[in-house]
Structure 1
Amino acid sequence: MDLNREQTCGVVSAPLEIAAMLTGYEWLCNTVGESGGTVYRLRSKEGASDLYLKYGRDAVADEISTEMERLNWLARYMTVPAVVHFTRTPDEAWLLMTAVPGTTAYQVLQAHPDYQLALVDAIARFLRQLHAIPVNECPFNSGHAYRLSCARARIDAGLVDEGDFDEERDGWTAEQVWEAMQRLLPLTPDPVVTHGDFSLDNLLIKDGEVIGCIDTGRVGIADRYQDLAILLNCLTEFDAALQERFLKQYGIDEPDQDKLQFHLLLDELF
């Protein structure tokens, strides 16, 4: 597996106020993620800290606007990228952010097999910290009822990439995913503050600990299994024992299989 999750690219056209800030930076385009937007890392040739620029049009621009709001809120509780500049037009959005130092959890797991158990423990500690944020302090709703309505809208608009489904749903249609989710309802909610896309690529590691997270556009109150399902699914690429270790360290002896399945199905539609 290639650990390089980005590639160099030319300077991209940006609004004047952002372009002026990025003179002299080297541009690298992120190759990970299915959000529909584009993420660039700006590497300074003068020794300054890296910056990240996220760009999108239309519905993706709305998502970037949402992420900006969530970044500013979540920064009260943990390390996330700081918003340097935000520009929004009717059709486009540009979000310039600081870089969180560290290496992604995915890269660390891939490069250091002997460190996998310790890293999974660190991820569990970080997720417990996130889920301990008081729900009454969070202004954002990301519950499954809300996200089901968003998923239905994406299906109806033809926005779901059916070719990107997980292997166990290879060849499925978006409607089949939708129907499979309906069979798992209703679910008894267990609301916490969730990241919403708690994947290994969105967690930054430094000195053996998760020091922060990125890609916060789905942060909000939801069932804790929203985060658990995505993280456990990511760990299948490495070792099933890591899933058991993570659940134990997080504090779950018997995971709710219906909730895990539901949230994996839901994630296919975004």
Structure 2
Amino acid sequence: MREEDCAAVCVPASLSAEVAGYTWSRDYVGQSGGAVYRLHSKAGAPDLFLKHGSDNVADDITGEMLRLRWLARHLPVPAVIRFVADPDEAWLLMTAVPGETAYQALEERPDCRIATIDALATFLRRLHTIPVSDCPFISDLPHRLARARARIDAGLVEEDDFDAAREGWTAEQVWGALQQLLPLPSDSVVTHGDFSLDNILMRDGAVVGCIDVGRVGVADRYQDIAIAWNSLGEFDAALQERFLAHYGIAEVDRAKLQVHLLLDELF
């Protein structure tokens, strides 16, 4: 349900050799305004993913390319095969991480949910132990608030895609609710930035990689904790509590949780 077959798209000449001979499918999960394609079924060749976007999305794809190359020194992520950009467009060709998403694992194997949750929490702890001094990217609250405000002003926020708790809200109402909870102290770590169940890949009960790393940067650890916690709420509140406990949180910071959930609505 996350993709459908499509015709091969026109790519820059410098990409044509790498994508020749593949069957194309368009992926509709987590595109963030761009186009994502899975290239598959080429004899003797591994699956690939191709991201393409214009204007602001091209800037985001460029940022993801830089983060992939840096994060590969610390965690399993897709390898960048080729990156092509001009002033208006960007193309990012990557290897596919073999496995299934954490969402699929939880949905399809309910009897293994506890082990899946523990693996997710262990992987997040591993991410959060990367030295902040090694990370060249900043994704902290001031940075993300500035970007959120710009997205509101540009009319880019999808208000009809808010979580059920904020159904019917406007982007300005989300912004106002955020301001009432600020300021907050920061506990800075290297964060994924969108640690949702669809962005974590698993195989045989272990996390084998993460994808969609365009928001990676130094930020408060609740940037990741809040999104993971919210994603798990679709399954069971007990899984949310298990995740927090296995990560090492004895008492959740409700204010930080709420701030980062509100902030995520604006992206």
* 1:221 counterpart residue number: 218
- In structure 2, the partner of 1:79 is 76
Q: Once the two structures are superposed, what CA deviation does each residue of 1:139-177 show, in whole Å capped at 9, x if it has no partner? A: 100001100000000000111111111111111000000
Match in the other structure for 2:208: 211
The Cα of 1:20 is off from its aligned counterpart by 2.4
AA partner of residue 256 (structure 1): D
Normalising by the residue count of structure 1, what TM-score does the alignment of the two structures yield?
0.97
Alpha-carbon shift at residue 207 of structure 1 (Å): 1.7
Once the two structures are superposed, the pairs formed by residues 81-230 of structure 1 within 5 Å of their partners are 81-230=78-227
**RMSD (CA atoms):** 0.8
TM-fit CA distance, 1:184: 0.5
CA displacement at 1:33 relative to structure 2: 1.5
**Could you say what secondary structure the match of 2:46 adopts?**
coil
Counterpart position of 1:67: 64
In the alignment, what sits opposite 1:55? 52
1:235 pairs with 2:232:
yes
Q: Give the letter aligned to residue 109 of structure 2.
A: H
- Identical residues among aligned pairs (%): 65
Q: CA deviation at 1:22?
A: 1.0
Q: Is 1:16 matched with 2:6? A: no
1:29 counterpart = 2:19: no
Q: What is the rounded CA distance, in whole Å, between the counterparts of 2:31 and 2:182 in structure 1? A: 26
By how many angstroms is 1:248 displaced?
0.5
1:44 Cα deviation after fit: 3.2
SS in 1 for 2:207: strand
Distance 2:202 2:2 in 1: 16
In 2, Cα distance between the equivalents of 1:110 and 1:250?
Answer: 21
Unpaired runs of at least 5, structure 1: none
Deviation at 1:34, TM superposition (A): 4.9
Gaps (5+ residues) in structure 2?
none
Ranges of 4+ aligned residues in structure 1 off by more than 3 Å: none
- Cα displacement (A) at 1:31: 1.3
SS at match of 2:218: strand
Equivalent residue in structure 2 for 1:249, among 241, 246, 251: 246
User: How far does residue 12 in structure 1 lie from its aligned partner after superposition?
Assistant: 1.0
Q: Secondary structure at the match of 1:54?
A: strand
1:66 is aligned with what amino acid? G
For 1:204, give the aligned amino acid.
L
Q: 1:202 to 1:143 in 2, by over 3 A?
A: same
Instruction: Quote the Cα distance in structure 2 between the aligned partners of 1:253 and 1:110.
Output: 27
Letter in 2 for 1:127: L
Report the counterpart of residue 265 of structure 1 in structure 2.
Answer: 262
Residue 211 of structure 1, CA deviation: 1.2
Q: Which moved more, 1:35-44 or 1:142-151?
A: 35-44
